[in-house]
Structure 1
Amino acid sequence: MTGPTELPVPDTVDVRSGPEVSDQLLSLLPLLGEWHGEGVMTGTAAGSAQDVRFGQWMRFSHDGRGFLAYESRTWRLTDEGRIVGPDVRETGFWRPRGDDDVELLTASPEGLVEIYVGRARTTTSWELTSDVVARTPDAADVTRAVRLYGLVEGALMYAIDRAGADDPLRPTMSARLERLR
């Protein structure tokens, strides 16, 4: 049995089409859309002795309810910019709570689930700290994380810092992404 190629319920990245955007999403509205760009993963996070370049596609969409669906895919790049293969993948939800409070729930196929709480620092920046980190036995040793997202001159920039049981909080990955739509 084959299914439809389109879902019967809209999931849109464009405020001009699809369902009306919930008023709850006003503090997150600038994130809505698709983003593409490059970043750097620190060597320790990438499992190598040196930092690793990556390409990234990120999408924030809505279906009319009071949350943004979030999806991120990365791929490793050589120093010359050639694609080596797929890398970190993540999915989740951004949930506004009150005027400036925000929650972020993420899951990755590497066995890491994180729940963040934070605030919109301005109308174009968000700072989140992990509240819960759960991992499978073979996942990376992560016990705490901090994420900072911001729009700078039209680009979405972010940084993720993580700590392990015996390691202090340190940079893990960061990127600069341009809006596709």
Structure 2
Amino acid sequence: MSDKEENPLGPPPWLNAPPVDPYPFEETHDLRHGPDLHPALLGLLPYIGQWRGRGRGGYPSLEADFDYGQEIRISHDGRPFLFYESRSWLLDEESKPIRPAGREVGWWRPVGEGQGDDIEALMMSPTGIMELYLGRLDGLRLEMGTDFVGRTPTAKEVRAAHRLFGIVEGALLYAHEMAAVGQPMSPHLSARLIRVGG
């Protein structure tokens, strides 16, 4: 069929279909509202919520350590995975915001035969880094290490990372180590966040 010939079947029907309504399904970080939690997520239930707090960061390649504020939202839509979203900002010595800092989105998914103790997680940042983690949930402690790190040609070189999360006295604590820019696995971020929603 030449470029000038018309398609005898006409345009596909979806091409001229009317617009659809807004996304009709709810996602929530508040277990009192929205869809029922998928049974596979019961072990991760304490993590679901909106969290806010402060942390301390540094790395051997940086001139100085830094303080930061952070919000993390962990939500679900009834399917067997959690949506993770984090945004942070640098703080000055008086805890006043300086500028936006790290941002990250991802998904945590329980896998395997047991009670959802094995976790696969994807974490991505706008700086061009995508990390695939394999982890293990042990009570209120979630530990994960990278199985794969992908990056764009312009992203900083990151070879591996390790993250430890825990719920301690109702707060979300975590520590993040990474091997990057020629450095061995080294501490990078740690924070304590309190539940502000959910």
- TM-score under structure 2 normalisation? 0.84
Residue 79 of structure 1 corresponds to 93
RMSD over aligned CA atoms reads 1.6
Q: 1:62 aligned to 2:76?
A: yes
One-letter code aligned to 1:172: H
Q: How many residue pairs were aligned?
A: 175
**1:110-167 alpha-carbon deviations (Å, 9 max, x no partner):** 1000010010022x11000100100112212110100000011111000000003732
One-letter code aligned to 2:54: E
Residue 110 of structure 1 corresponds to 127
Question: 1:87 & 1:113 partners in 2: Cα distance?
Answer: 17
Question: 2:180 & 2:186 partners in 1: Cα distance?
Answer: 9
Q: Secondary structure of 1:118's match? A: strand
Identity %: 45
Going from structure 1 to structure 2, the CA distance change for 1:165 and 1:40 (only over 3 Å counts) comes to closer
Are the equivalent residues in 2 in contact too, given 1:43–1:52 (CA < 8 A)? no
Gaps of 5+ in 1: none
Residue 14 of structure 1, CA deviation: 1.2
Question: 1:174 & 1:14 partners in 2: Cα distance?
Answer: 25
Q: 1:30 aligned to 2:46?
A: yes
Aligned ranges for residues 142-181 of structure 1 at < 5 Å? Answer: 142-164=158-180, 166-181=182-197
Question: 2:144 & 2:186 partners in 1: Cα distance?
Answer: 15
Question: 2:122 & 2:87 partners in 1: Cα distance?
Answer: 16
Q: Secondary structure of 1:28's match? A: helix
Runs (4+) off by over 4 Å: none
- TM-score under structure 1 normalisation? 0.92
